[in-house]
Every structure is written in C-alpha cells, then in structure tokens.
Amino acid sequence: MKRPTMWGLAIGIALLVAVFAQHDPGAIFAAVIGIGWGAFAILPWRIASIFSSAAGWACLYRRAERLPYLHLVQGRWISEAVNHLLPMAQIGGNVVRGRLAYRAARSRRPGLTGTAVAAILIVDITGALAARVILVAAGFLLLWQRQILGFAGAMLGIGLSVVPLLFLLAIQHRRLLSGAAGLLHRPKWHRLLQAVEATAQDLATHLVALYRRWVAMTLDIAWHVIAGLFRVGETWTILLLLGHPVSIVEALLIEVMASTVRALAFLIPGGLGAQEGGFLLICHLLGVAPILALALAVTKRARDAALGLPALLDWLILERRIRTG
C-alpha cells in the first residue's frame, strides 16, 4: 500500500470513529437490521445504475469496435467494487476496468488499440463527471429554492463542482500530453521519450475524435445521469424502509450532496468517513435524524459489500485466467 493511500485510510478511519463516537452505534445498527428482507428491494437500484453506466461507456465505441455489452457491465461492476471495498484511492477502479477492457479488446477486437481503449475510458470518466455536475447543479439550485442556501452559496457550490471537470479536460489537451515527455528530457531516455511522445500524440488524436462525436458523448452523459437517478431511487427506498419516507426531491438532495462529499475525498479509500459525514450534513439540513442518516450510510456500505465481494471474486478469477492463458 502506497504512503498517500495509507494516510488516506488513516484519515478515513479517524473520521469514521469520530462520527460514530458522537452517536449511539446500537441504535444505528438496530435501525439497519430492522430493514430485514426489505434489503432485497435495495439491490436492483444499484444493479440498474451499473448497467446504465456501462451503457454510457458502450456508446463511445464505434459499432464495429464495440466490446460485448456484458463485458462492459462486468468491468463497471468490478470497478465499483474496487473503489468501494479495497484500500486504494477511488480512482483505482477505473484503472482496473481499463485493463480489463484492453484485455477483452486484444482477444475480441484485435483492431482496437490500447490507446483507443484508454481514450474511450478517459472520455467516459469525463462524461461521468459532467453528469455529476448536472446533478450537483440541480441539487444546489433546489437548496437555494428551499432557502437552505443563499443564491451566492448555491452558485459557489456549482462553480466548485465544475473545477474537477475543467481540470480533467485541461490535462487532455494535446499540448499538455505532448509536453509531458519534454519536461522529463534526459539524453539517455531519448528513445523512451520518443515513444511516450508518439503515444501522447496518438492519445490526443483519439480524444479529439471522440469529442467530435457529440451524439455519442451526449448519450454517454445522459446514461450517467440516469445511473445517478437510479442511485437517488436507492436512497429513497432505504429511507422508506427505515421508516422515514422522503420525497424524490429530498432523496436527490441527500444522494447528490453526500456523493459529492465522497468524490471530493477521492484520496480516502472508499470515501471512508467522508460519505458518513456527507449524509449527516445534508440529512441535518433536511430534518432527518442523525441516527437515520448514519443508518442510511451503513445500509449503503452493506450494499457495497453484498454486490462488491462477488465482483472482487470474479476479478480474481479473471486475473488468474489472464495469467494462465
């Protein structure tokens, strides 16, 4: 485990302990256990979200190059499990699904290069970030409409949510990609840096071509927005099962704002502690009791385990096949 990840994990555990120490853990877990068999009504929402995100990813492939849809679903499923359950920064899952897509392309689509697969993955991540900005903007505008936030505060929140998207777009610029090799110039690395330069140029060409396919890009973003709405449905269902029904609008606010806090804490594995704090904060603003807010967070962690552990097992089997094949 790398040092930044170790620090992130330590911070996450400290946050988690601090959050639960201020409330009654017994009451929280009693509320979660009280859901009972209703827990089976929660899983379909997240499964639908995974399928929707994979559909967006699929839209970026040209028809002749497209990987089988279920392969993309599998990659997305494993990616989320890695991000939620393993002690690594929350970008690790994207690296894993990119590797799986590349392996699938080598065996099923020989004409699809590794650079093309990487470009599609980068654009899909960008589309997911754009979808998050749309949902976050809707959330902040709803907070302003309900007079929970002032107009300036809502605009500031929307502006800050755009920053990660702008940063991701900036680092995809052709000049920045090409110039990265030049910054590391050493005579003995000349041949290696020429290869890096060529790969950067190739990647930039693929990225430009993908962004020019505005219909595919729009569909990708739309599918990610739909995936986000399925997660809103999950939040609405959990609170209903916990005995505190909320409106769809309130469920959207809770899900979007809590997931934003988690995303900002991307260096903390699984958003440990940050996700719980996000639920506490937004639920407090909407009048949901702290015990129920933390019960909601714990239920989502349990759902992560229920769907994620089989995904990690599937990943291990795939990796073994790759190594022995």
Per-residue pLDDT in tens (0 to 9) along the chain, 325 residues: 677 678 888 888 898 888 888 889 899 999 999 999 999 999 999 999 999 999 999 999 998 888 999 999 999 999 999 998 887 767 788 989 998 998 888 888 878 888 899 999 999 999 999 999 999 999 999 999 999 889 999 999 999 889 888 988 888 765 555 544 444 444 444 454 444 455 777 888 889 899 999 999 999 999 999 999 999 999 999 999 999 999 999 999 999 999 888 887 777 888 888 899 999 999 999 999 999 999 999 999 999 999 999 999 999 998 888 777 6
Q: Does residue 157 form part of some domain?
A: no
0.75 cut: is pTM over it? Answer: yes
Q: Does residue 58 form part of some domain?
A: yes
Q: Does residue 56 form part of some domain?
A: yes
Question: Which residue has 């995100």 as its token pair?
Answer: 53
Answer yes or no: are the C-beta atoms of 91 and 9 closer than 8 Å: no
Answer yes or no: are the C-beta atoms of 305 and 46 closer than 8 Å: no
Q: How many structural domains are present in the chain? A: 1
pLDDT the model gives residue 175: 55
Q: Does residue 169 form part of some domain?
A: no
pLDDT the model gives residue 204: 85
Share of the chain residues as helix, strand and coil, in percent rounded to the nearest 5: 80, 0, 20
pLDDT the model gives residue 323: 76
Q: Does residue 111 form part of some domain?
A: no
Q: Does residue 195 form part of some domain?
A: no
pLDDT the model gives residue 263: 80
Domain limits for position 79: 3-91+217-324
**Would you call 149 helix, strand, or coil by DSSP?**
coil
Q: Does residue 302 form part of some domain?
A: yes
Q: CA angle, corner 51, sides to 58 and 74, nearest 5?
A: 80
Q: Does residue 140 form part of some domain?
A: no
pLDDT the model gives residue 267: 78
